[in-house]
Amino acid sequence: MSIETISLSGRKKQVSNKEMSFIERLYLVAIVKGLFITIRHLFKRKVTIKYPEEVRPRSEVYRGQHMLMRDDQGRERCTACGLCALSCPAEAITMKAEERKPEEKHLYREEKYASIYEINMLRCIFCGLCEEACPKQAIYLTKSKELVHTEYTREDFIYGKDKLVMPLEMAIANTKA
Ligand code: SF4
Ligand code: SF4
């Protein structure tokens, strides 16, 4: 009796349960065939790499970890308008807006700023839509080699301003350059 299988690829294969011959029952031919396949793969170009020691070359337009930018005076550019969160297809961004106090003018460029800004890196697909939606050029996906650090808990993958805001020294160095 033969069982007809359904093949999504269109290459149907007939499966037979006919009794095996003596030679077939020795499995020698099957073993040699299997070994031949294994040996053939030894000489093929490897498709795997020893990550993280080896890293594949990245494209020019590669998008790495996000950075919340500062302006040339070191002030945070983000005005907590929420457009990045709205445009995010993964719903990875959350934030809380606060009004800037007069004594905070040197910290935040706009009258409103994000007191909390979080990206859930487990959701993010690094599409860059948040960057494109931002009217203040406040968020960029950098060319950082690491996308996300390895962590042990889900909470650690929620990146807050401590991890996202551009370091002040970098903003100063950019101004000087
Ligand atoms: S890169 Fe894409 S998925 Fe990630 S936070 Fe930005 S919009 Fe959302
Ligand atoms: S990063 Fe840009 S788009 Fe997102 S809240 Fe800040 S200013 Fe608005």
Closest atom of ligand 1 relative to the 133 alpha carbon: 7
Question: What residue owns the CA closest to ligand 2's atom 8?
Answer: 81
Q: How far is it, in rounded angstroms, from Cα 123 to Cα 90?
A: 6
Closest atom of ligand 1 relative to the 123 alpha carbon: 3
Length reported for the chain? 177
DSSP 3-state of 141: strand
Q: How far is it, in rounded angstroms, from Cα 160 to Cα 140?
A: 15
Query: Residue ranges of the domains in the chain?
Result: 2-42, 66-176
66-176 CATH choice from 3.30.70.3270, 3.90.1570.10, 2.60.40.1180, 3.55.40.20: 3.30.70.3270
pTM of structure:
0.74
List the pLDDT tens digit at each of the 177 positions of the chain.
Answer: 445 556 677 777 777 888 888 988 899 999 999 999 999 999 998 888 998 788 888 888 889 999 999 999 999 999 999 999 999 999 999 999 999 999 999 999 999 999 999 999 999 999 999 999 999 999 999 987 777 888 999 999 999 999 999 999 888 888 777
